[in-house]
Chain A
Amino acid sequence: MNKEVSIIHFPGSNCDRDLAVAIKYCLKLKPKFLWHNESHIKDPGIIFIPGGFSFGDYLRAGILATKSPAIKEVIRHAKKGVPIIGICNGFQILTECKLLEGALIKNSSQLFSCKKVFLRIENKKNYFTKNIKKGVVQYPIAHSQGKFYVDDYNLKKLQDNDQIMFKYSSKTGDISDKYNPNGSVQNIAGIVNKKKNVLGLMPHPERAIDSFSGRDGIVFFNGLNELI
């Protein structure tokens, strides 16, 4: 298998460069940028959907991007089992195109919120997280539509199926409203699909790869090494 990582780039994406920097730094390879109107994506390797404001976040964050040719390809590859990671706006796109459950709606505070948060890793059996040694990591968040919503029925399915990956927590892993930055159901910050090859998370591991911003993002990217 060829060593590839692809980043899908939409008009309005703005964490694409940051993600590429993190991938280069941690995985020692140069990611391939795919423009949103790419209608045939071959051998993408891991697919990343970066953060930002695809199509200006107009209508609902992520929705307009789901109508692009590249997302049709992402859906096709997802069904084949290709690992796909959506961060922030990428997570919003993945829920809007129904690769992931639930929806991301306006933060309870109604305000954009940018800060570092702690995340408890809920599931380490998954290939996205199994190499992360720590139980709690610290990544920044920066979003205004990051409140994860899912109804009770589907929440139970997520739980029963071990699909919840990250929860907002204290430094020591306590989960409570106090540590919930946006009002997400059960502090959920990231989930995978049923087949567990599609991951979406609101926090930004790519923003935590140097000594100034914290280094917890490094383990996230390093952990992906065996997938490529």
Chain B
Amino acid sequence: MNLENNLINAKTIIDHGISKSEYNRILKILKREPNLLELGIFSVMWSEHCSYKSTKKWLKTLPTNGEHVICGPGENAGIIDIGGNDAIVFKMESHNHPSFIEPYQGAATGVGGIMRDVFTMGARPIANLNSLRFGEPSNIKTKNLLQGVVKGIGDYGNCVGIPTVGGECSFHKSYNNNILVNAMCVGLVKKNKIFYSKAKGIGNPIIYVGSKTGRDGIHGATMASAEFDDTSIDQRPQVQVGDPFMEKLLLESCQELMKEDAIIAIQDMGAAGLTSSSFEMASKGNCGVKLFLNEVPCRESKMTPYEMMLSETQERMLMVIKPDKKKITFDIFKKWGLEAIEIGHLTDTGKMQMYFNNRLVGELPIKPLADSAPEYDRPRKKKAFKTIKVKKRNLQIENVFLEMISSPNHSSKEWLFRQYDNMVMCDTIFSSEESDAAIVRIHKTKKAVAITCDCNPIFCYTDPKLGAKLAVAESWRNLIASGAKPLAVTDNLNFGNPEKKDVMYQIKKAIEGIKVACTKLSFPVVSGNVSLYNETKGKSILPTPVIGGVGLIEDLKFVTGINMKMDDSIFIIGYTKGHLGLSVYNQICGYKYGKPPSIDFDNEIKNGNFVYNAIREVGISGCHDVSEGGIIMSLAELCIKNKLGIQISIPDEIKKENWLFGEDSSRYIIITNNEKKLLKYAKKMNVFVKNIGKVKGSSFKIINEFEISLKDLITYNKQWFKNYIDIEK
């Protein structure tokens, strides 16, 4: 073989993030030294981001099957059956590092990337969600990052015309230099029109369509797999700019082409661009590939094969099509103003052969490269916690409450979600401010899907396994509360550096927690993403395994919001022990340590089934789960949303603080005027319910404690963002 041999030395290898043992593995596979192009390809294919080398061993243990699962992890996104010929495609993905370097473009391209993962499978995206974590508001970078990220998410989804229907956003100092931007996309596909990435058919053309390739993001995949240091800000060329208009054209043209019987395999060029998309398609189909790199459309002059193979320019797709469908393929793209280009074809060599200027410039065996990607069982060690008791601030209930509802994490996120078009496509029934899960109608049917994303990183920090279980349970509960039957989840595992023992411990334990909870709740994991090395100067983020849950509402009449009507009765479902460890209450009062609330899955399922059936059989006005901030926070959210007052009495048998602020699992608030029916049904199902008050008047009133007018309550809840962003008065 006559490969151009760019000199590779020890430094080049280190610069590519390849360890000594990995390099030896490369030598074994190739039986020769790689050239620079080949080394670059190994480095991205074996990066943490693409190979999951630190987590694969543990991810394999997740439950991924279930009666509704059509496609589990391994493809661009997971797919679940929702009855008839309809299926739901969904996944969550992180864009943490890019968003920290350039918040607007980083977040925008994150949204773009996850939507492509979904529409690549034949689906039309119907909803976007996001889970955001920022540093302390007082950190000088936070405001800028917040504004940039939110605008980036909004502008991208709004332009493509996919509603952004929900998500979460919170602040904690551990994210000061490592924000998290996790984007989730849900799409709708016909079961008989699903597209996969497995290439087949020797000689079949490989088609490139979308933006021209530039030098952006070269080595982005390795960046996403490396710790930050002071020089990160200077990693300029790695920033990718998003083009939502191109995304919209790709979406529409691919949808049109998918109606023809033309596509054999399709992949978006995401992380590691042309490299990972071509390798993945070929390795799934056991094929070889010939690529003619002179054909790759380039934005800049003099781009090298190395740059073309590693570029992460956004909004590009790769597909294998039937040879006799070339014309219709090119015509459809042309109609949409896009140029499709044949850049290679499939072979039977099992090798990736890259040609440039009529010369073979790189040749790699595809299967061995993918199959022998490193897999590590990294050492782990539990972190020891200091149990320093911080002096408790002595606060009145009312003061804690007001501090809570006007705190950055619990104040109204209206400033944020106003910037998202949550109605385009006209199937949004509730966005996630109106219901525990966002609810999107399946177009032209009476079915709807409920979608939510959740995680409480504070719980996960102290007890990653329990914290992850609680995140899964909360997602499940949110779906139940919105009237849905929970079906499956996607997960986004955000952690620090896995080469550190305590971080690896967190990762393993969190995955274990997800495994247990998803198994118990019959809530399989169908897709996901891992983001590691979220760490700056040795400080890592709180472990943040975000869970994105999806459920089905078989008939719109069971759709349930955070609603109430005047004179309704208010019930708590589930027993309140009043667990305050790690609660918002304790944090406000200065107690920073403790344990997360425990969870008993039998009880969770019992209460959940009760609520699910009560929604169908009792007739209720609204439902809301009890989570961060406890009963009092859930009640406040009900009042603020409905602009109605309530009167609540605290039961005698428990301490006031514990009852109001406790964060025990498995509880809901149900609002109904069918009191008798609800009680009777609870008795039959042996579920603990308690009537705690009524919807009444125009103030928020806890009897014998305090009363605050609705108007003030709303002002408290809205002021933080207003003041922080300095919205023009």
Interface of A toward B, CB cutoff 8 Å: 11-12, 14-15, 17-18, 21-22, 35, 52-53, 55-58, 108-109, 111-115, 140, 142, 144, 204, 206-207, 209-210, 212-213
Contact = CB atoms under 8 A, between A and B. Distances in A.
A212 B434 CA distance: 12
Contacts of A52: 161
A181 to B, nearest CB: 10
Contacts of B214: none
A109 B729 CA distance: 10
Given A109-B727, A207-B426, A53 B421 contact: no
A11 B423 contact: no
B244 A113 contact: no
B629 to A, nearest CB: 26
Interface in B406-446: 417-426, 428-430
11 contacts: A12-B248, A14-B159, A15-B161, A18-B426, A55-B245, A56-B244, A58-B245, A114-B418, A142-B158, A142-B421, A207-B426
B538 interface: no
A164 B314 CA distance: 43
A206 B424 contact: no
Given A11-B336, A11-B337, A114 B422 contact: yes
A53 B159 contact: yes
Contacts of A213: 423, 426, 428
B13 interface: no
Interface in B49-89: none
A56 B243 contact: yes
Given A109-B728, A111-B418, A113-B419, A14 B424 contact: yes
Nearest to A53: B159
B424 A142 contact: yes
Nearest to A56: B245
Contacts of A55: 245
Nearest to A57: B159
Contact of B419 (A14, A17, A114, A204): A114
Given A109-B727, A142-B423, A14 B245 contact: no
A157 B177 CA distance: 55
Given A11-B248, A11-B336, A206 B419 contact: no
Interface residues of B, number: 32
B148 to A, nearest CB: 12
Max chain A C-beta neighbours (<10 A), residue from B159, B245, B423, B430? B423
Given A57-B159, A209-B426, 18 more contacts: A11-B336, A12-B245, A14-B161, A14-B248, A14-B424, A18-B424, A53-B158, A56-B245, A111-B151, A111-B419, A112-B154, A112-B158, A112-B420, A112-B421, A140-B423, A206-B426, A207-B423, A210-B426
Contacts of A204: 423
A3 B244 CA distance: 36
A151 to B, nearest CB: 23
Nearest to B417: A114
Nearest to A52: B161
B93 interface: no
A140 B337 CA distance: 31
Contacts of A114: 417-423
A42 B381 CA distance: 75
Interface in B200-252: 243-246, 248-249, 252
Contacts of B429: 212
B155 interface: yes
B160 interface: yes
Interface string B150-186: 0100110011110000000000000000000000000
A115 B159 CA distance: 17
A53 B248 contact: yes
A14 B426 contact: no
A53 B244 contact: yes
Contacts of A112: 151, 154-155, 158, 418-421
